[in-house]
Structure 1
Amino acid sequence: MKSVVTLLVLGVATATLPACGGQASGRQPVTVSATGTAGATAPAAAAQPTGAPGARSGLGGPGKSASPKPSPSSGTVLKAGNPNGRATVPAEARAVDTSRPTRTIGTGTPASCTSDAVVKAVAAGGIITFDCGPAPVTIRMKATAKVRNANGPKIVLDGGGKVTLSGGGDRRILYMNTCDGAQGWTTSHCQNQDHPQLTLQNLTFADGNSTGDRTEGGGGGAIFVRGGRVKVVNSRFVDNRCDRTGPDLGGAALRVLSQYDNKPVYVVNSTFTGGVCANGAALSSIGVSWVVLNSVLSGNRAVGDGANPARAGTPGGGSGGAIYCDGNEFTVRIAGTIVENNHANEGGGAIFFVSNNRTGTMKIENSNLRRNPSDAFETRGLPGIFFLGARPPAITGSKLT
């Protein structure tokens, strides 16, 4: 990301990327209620390359119905996402039908739902549900559950709204990597294959921690994914962690490094709170497209110091309080979503978006981005956002304050 350091230096010299940490509350809101862009744009937006990729279809689509939910009498059921979000959810982004599971974790009691059972079920693949009794249950993971690349091609993990998988503050919860030989190579092009297709739904992921794990550059406190496809539906991510310093690692909740044919990661009706990492304290990726629908990202903190590339004498990081996206050809769409009270020590208190070859594009639709301070730099006219891409973000029906 050599281009960014040049731009940051220019920004300091020309005040096009003003420091903003103590001024956030004094800004005027940016509101766009019709198709268009908001405010002024980053210096690089003057370049207008064409051919940015669209978000393509895939991921195999859902079954005939959503996963069954527990009845209200069976205990507190998970509530996630933005209940007021009205973004249309495409068929391929919806919950998968798990009424006929391949395997079930547990035999009806909390004691039967163990870390070992989760690890074995995830390795075996297929459609996986839980039977842990009528009340909500937390399963503290004693080892990271790892996807075996030959098992699937679909792997669905459905907590029924009552299951929390906890890293206990000690470890990453879930790992998938098509290029990790230890999980089995299944094609000659591991960096771009259409399987496994991982769906995570009706679950809570809490207290995951990948600190010190530098596999593929690190990050992914709760979940790490490289390759295949992944989507998250009706799930919560709470108080996850990854390394506090580093110029490019991130994703306290979810780190994704590649997806088949640049098809998007779908995040639907989900909530991300309390994440802490060097960058991207909720979501982080390199060269990956995202579609975030009817979700909430709140209270996440990018705590690194020195940006990317790291300034002399610093360890680097501190960008993307909630979302950190780097790379070349990728897109981000955020719709029906609340992004609030996130913080970045460096740039992009809400969102850090850098497309190095200026082909990347971003859309924000019917969403609220508020109180997301960036202590060092952000794009003028876009509170909480640092953006370098093909053209200014397309913002419709949204408020940025």
Structure 2
Amino acid sequence: MVRVKSAVPLLVLALVTATLPACGGDDPAPVSAAVSGTPEAPAAAPSVSPSGRAGLGSARPSPTATTAAFRAGNPAGRAAVPAEARAVDTSRPTRTVGSGTPASCTSESVVKAVAAGGVITFDCGPAPVTITMKATAKVVNSHGPRVVLDGGGRVTLSGGGRRRILYMNTCDEAQGWTTSHCQNQDHPRLTVQNLTFADGDSTGDRTEGGGGGAVFVRGGRFAVVNSRFVDNSCDRTGPDLGGAALRVLSQFENKPVYVVSSTFTGGVCANGGALSSIGVSWTVLNSVFRDNRAVGTGANPARGGTPGGGSGGAIYCDGNEFAVRIAGTVIEGNSANEGGGAIFFVSNDRTGTLKIDSSTLRRNPSRGFETKGHPGIFFLGAHLT
């Protein structure tokens, strides 16, 4: 078991360009890096107000707050959560999916609400409900600027093992171009909170390189708060695709994707059994990654005679200038056929930084390679602390 703590400030790195960098070889001799630090103070109470544009659908006061039975993330995590990463106030939603019964909460109503944008809540009755998606819900880039999905701790969105659940891409012409620099714009700002995403599967969808079994995001801003990702999957082979739960590309001014108090279990993909990105920074706080697998073979670039992949059992990050910070988080029981049973981190120009605070990594086998002295981690970059 590895317990790692640090209090060095997060390095803010430069803007990601429209051209997504190719991965450098991930088989060089491992490098070692020291890890140390101290715990952090608990987070303050949420105080963020909603901001959404009116559109299709009805609006009503949100049903009661997250139910007591809903548990996500690491309750023992004490990493401070910045204001911009806290749950959005959804007490006055722009629109509501459902009219008080499970039958009223349909795939069609979710797709319609997401396309309309704004702050979206669910009213599906008092009991937990699973909505099996018949189509992927897609954000329309001109609707927002904020798009929030809040399941109130009672809603599961399921891909039924057949499709991706949620999609946002500021560079997808079909979803509308709203600026001349789609890869670097501050909207839409997508937040998912108090939701479960289960059985999403993007296998066969190689748009933007593929991956993102539950959620795919390119551009704008993205945050995940108090949510669960269960048994999601994407293509099982490929040198650089990944993210059984989340695949993210191009965030505004390389600001981080926030993942707060969330749980990722049972994800399977070529790389990144939970999270995957190229050139994107992440801040992961008070979360849990358990039993996720990177099942590709041949690494990246793919060895001769192999399809490639197999790195980052839980987290796969590639690119040039980006930073990843993990705090108050448990990463255990994940595995990679190649490198980084817990975390695979390659900064091609060696400018990227990985910082792990007050977190526990254990039983994350790397069946091919990892960085000496850091079980479950393969790191090539500027600093691992």
TM-score, normalization by structure 1: 0.83
For 2:196, what is the secondary structure of its paired residue? Answer: strand
Q: Which of 242, 260, 281 in structure 2 is aligned with 1:289? A: 281
Instruction: Look up the match of 1:341.
Output: 333
Amino acid at match of 2:313: G
- SS state of the match for residue 192, structure 1? coil
Aligned residues: 347
Query: Residue in 1 aligned with 2:4?
Result: none
Does 1:371 pair with 2:359?
Answer: no
The letter for the 2-side match of 1:111 is A
User: Does the CA contact (< 8 Å) of 1:227 and 1:257 recur in 2?
Assistant: yes
Measured at CA, do residues 71 and 247 of structure 1 come closer, stay the same or move farther in structure 2, by a change above 3 Å? closer
Report what 1:97 is aligned to: 89
Q: Which amino acid aligns with 2:121?
A: T
Q: Give the counterpart letter for 2:49 in structure 1.
A: G
Aligned to 2:218: 226
Tell whether the 8 Å contact from 2:258 to 2:284 is kept in structure 1 after alignment: yes
CA distance in 1, matches of 2:70, 2:255: 28
TM-score, structure 2 normalization: 0.87
Summarize the Cα distance change of 1:114–1:378 in structure 2 as closer, same or farther, 3 Å threshold.
Answer: same
Map 1:20-99 onto structure 2 (within 5 A).
32-33=36-37, 62-63=48-49, 70=64, 77-99=69-91
Equivalent residue number for residue 51 of structure 1: none
Q: Please, what is the CA RMSD of the aligned residues?
A: 2.0
Checking the alignment, whether the CA contact within 8 Å between 1:340 and 1:371 is kept in structure 2 is yes
1:173 aligned residue: 165
Q: Percent identity?
A: 76
Q: Displacement, 1:362? A: 1.0
Counterpart Cα distance in 2 of 1:129 and 1:68? 6
Q: After superposition, what is the alpha-carbon deviation per residue over 1:217-262, rounded to whole angstroms, capped at 9, x for unaligned?
A: 0000000000000000000000000000000000000000110000
Aligned position for 2:206: 214
The runs of 5 or more residues in structure 1 that have no matched partner are: 19-29, 36-60, 395-401
Alignment check: 8 A CA contact 1:210 1:243 kept: yes
Distance 1:325 1:293 in 2: 17
For residues 269-309 of structure 1, give each alpha carbon's deviation from its aligned partner in whole angstroms, at most 9, with x where no partner exists: 00000000000010000000000000000000000000000
Residue of structure 1 equivalent to 2:188: 196
Deviation string for 1:1-49 (max 9, x for gaps)?
77743x62x53xxxx589xxxxxxxxxxx984559xxxxxxxxxxxxxx
Aligned: 1:326 with 2:318 = yes
Is 1:120 the equivalent of 2:106?
A: no
Which residue does 1:144 correspond to in 2?
A: 136
Distance 1:68 1:110, change over 3 A: closer
Residue 184 of structure 1, aligned match among 176, 179, 185: 176
**Counterpart of 2:44?**
none
1:78 Cα offset (Å): 1.8
| 2:151–2:193 CA contact under 8 A, matched in 1 | yes
Name the amino acid aligned to 2:342: A
Inter-CA distance 33–361: structure 2 relative to 1 (3 Å threshold): closer
Q: Say whether residues 1:270 and 2:262 are aligned partners.
A: yes
- Displacement of 1:77 in angstroms is 3.3
Q: How does 1:361-400 map to 2 (within 5 A)?
A: 361-391=353-383, 393-394=384-385
Mark the CA change 1:177 to 1:192 in structure 2 (over 3 Å): closer, same or farther.
Answer: same
d(CA) in 2 for partners of 1:204, 1:335: 22
The whole-number CA distance in structure 2 between the counterparts of 1:292 and 1:385 is 16
Cα offset, 1:62, TM superposition: 2.0
Who is 2:295 aligned against?
303
Amino acid of the residue matched to residue 140 of structure 1? T
Matched to 1:357, the amino acid is: D
Q: Distance in 1 between matches of 2:266 and 2:312?
A: 14
Match of 2:154 in 1: 162
CA contact (8 A) 2:23 2:319 kept: no
Are the equivalent residues in 2 in contact too, given 1:149–1:178 (CA < 8 A)?
Answer: yes
On the 8 A contact 1:63/1:96 being kept in 2, the answer is yes
Structure 2: distance between partners of 1:17 and 1:275: 28
User: Contact conserved, 1:70 with 1:161, CA < 8 A, in 2?
Assistant: no
- Counterpart-to-counterpart distance in 2, 1:77 and 1:347: 36
Gaps of 5+ in 2: 1-20, 40-46, 51-60
